[in-house]
Amino acid sequence: MTTRKRGRPKADADRDLRGELLRTSRLLLDEGGVAALSMREVARRAGCTHQAPYHYFEDRESILATLVADGFDALAGRLKAANDLVIQQSVRTALIMSGRAYVDFALSQPGVFRVMFRPDVCNPMRFPAVLEAGGRARAELDRLTRIVHGSQATSEQASILWAHVHGLACLLIDGPLAMAFGTEQERQRHLEGVADGFADMLLASGAGGSSNPGRRRKKDVS
Amino acid sequence: MTTRKRGRPKADADRDLRGELLRTSRLLLDEGGVAALSMREVARRAGCTHQAPYHYFEDRESILATLVADGFDALAGRLKAANDLVIQQSVRTALIMSGRAYVDFALSQPGVFRVMFRPDVCNPMRFPAVLEAGGRARAELDRLTRIVHGSQATSEQASILWAHVHGLACLLIDGPLAMAFGTEQERQRHLEGVADGFADMLLASGAGGSSNPGRRRKKDVS
DNA sequence: ACAGTTAATGGACACTGTCAACTTGACTGT
DNA sequence: ACAGTCAAGTTGACAGTGTCCATTAACTGT
């Protein structure tokens, strides 16, 4: 009979249980959806007892919140990189690459992406880090709006931009576009077509940065 | 000591337990999200034992599927009504009213709407009724695409349309637009602005029905 | 009258999140 | 050297969940 150890184990710096728990959680989330991420299953896969995770995370929602905050951070980073292209390249490039960044992120981490916009699963109000990171992503999209429409851009224009990329991402991971394509290449072609079409529409309708006051405005982007 | 009844109760045509269960489920879904809809809580509120619902629904997912199918039906109906406006009114009216129909539906039944696009919660493959109703809604959006872009409309144009309305709905019920407005009126103003802006963009960029072949096409809407 | 079906009942099981109490190793100041 | 504190776990328990199972009473067709 092998008596199990109790109490604190000997120092094992290579362990990093917290990191292991997060990695496992992200896997479960991407594989089986939010329902598959159970505290006990995470513990089981990480090789600890069902209570050990509670030492690092207050509750189940807290572990989700950590992933969500990281997700918004990563998204904001990708968007910033795409927006920065406006300097070396063109407005159109920045617009198209931002859209691709948003969609690529959703496709690469669908599990996390879904929870990022599900306040009933992970309530941002409880987690300041989530609010902050979400704000950074939002700021990057507002910046893109100004890149496209100039400094006088309206909040309505921001909504059109965000709705487009977000809707596209949602339809791709959960909606009818999830299974519409046979090959990955086919999907890429479609997405390029959508991005081109949207960019044409947006840039043709009197949007050309500050050099083009054009149509009547309503309210500035916050 | 009041001995509880067992077995089948006396006929009570006014009961309609199935309908009661569905109504209760929709309430729970809209109030506390999908996590709040538990088989036992539904049964409790409907005034039956925890097993009675299993007589009408195979499992929890099946009760969700019924609501989702009804949801897609209702959505398809609203979209059809909006699309039909093209006859008496204009293309622009049909486009704007379709967008409003989609958003209004999401706002009026947020709980159901969310599950409609969450295959990890309710897998459409399991429920033919969901697939069918979803197909009807999709067909209505494809029809709108042809109304706007003519019979040669591409699947990319359909994606742009769907992504716009769907993204907008998502951002309104769960995203940053959920709490961006103080008053209901404020939100309505914003939505009108978004709809106007989007319609301007779409109709200005060489989309005018079959009378305008215009830009190069790629692939027809299925 | 009687068998079969329908619409329920109550009990049990495994699983979940979380609370509480405990153990133990490592580090601290004296 | 040694008591005290903290970190990082441990085990055990509880209520709530979805679902399987056997049971039972009322209705239905023959």
Give the model's pLDDT for residue B114: 98
Q: What is the CATH number of the domain that holds A97?
A: 1.10.357.10
Give the model's pLDDT for residue B205: 79
Residues B124-135: pLDDT tens digits? 999 999 999 999
Q: Is the dihedral of CA B63, B68, B71, B76 positive or negative?
A: negative
B35 in the same domain as B141: no
A222 confidence band (pLDDT: 50, 70, 90) = low
**Which chain D nucleotides are covered by protein, judged by CB under 7 A?**
7-13, 16-27
In chain A, the number of structural domains is: 2
B81 in the same domain as B24: no
DSSP string, B154-205: BHHHHHHHHHHHHHHHHHHHTSGGGSS-SSHHHHHHHHHHHHHHHHHHHHHS
B164 in the same domain as B78: yes
In this complex, the residue of A134, A175, A198 whose CB is nearest that of residue B166 is A175
The reply to whether B40 has its C-beta less than 7 Å from any atom of strand D is yes
A27 in the same domain as A68: no
- B174 CB neighbours in chain A (<8 A) are 117-120
Q: Does B176 touch chain A (CB under 8 A)?
A: yes
Domain of A81 in residue numbering reads as 64-204
Residues A119-167: pLDDT tens digits? 999 999 999 999 999 999 999 999 999 999 999 999 999 999 999 999 9
A25 in the same domain as A87: no
| A218 within some domain | no
B165 in the same domain as B132: yes
Give the model's pLDDT for residue B216: 37
Mean pLDDT computed over every residue of chain A = 91
Mean pLDDT computed over every residue of chain B = 92
d(CA A58, CA A65): 11
B179 in the same domain as B132: yes
B119 in the same domain as B47: no
A98 in the same domain as A36: no
B175 in the same domain as B92: yes
B131 in the same domain as B49: no
Q: What is the CATH number of the domain that holds B40?
A: 1.10.10.60
Residues 42-101 of B with CB under 8 A from A: none
The reply to whether B10 has its C-beta less than 7 Å from any atom of strand C is no
In this complex, the residue of B35, B159, B175 whose CB is nearest that of residue A177 is B159
| B179 within some domain | yes
What mean pLDDT do residues A38-67 have? Answer: 98
- B168 CB neighbours in chain A (<8 A) are 159, 163, 167
pLDDT(A20) > 80: yes
d(CA B151, CA B163): 20
More confident residue, B175 or B207: B175
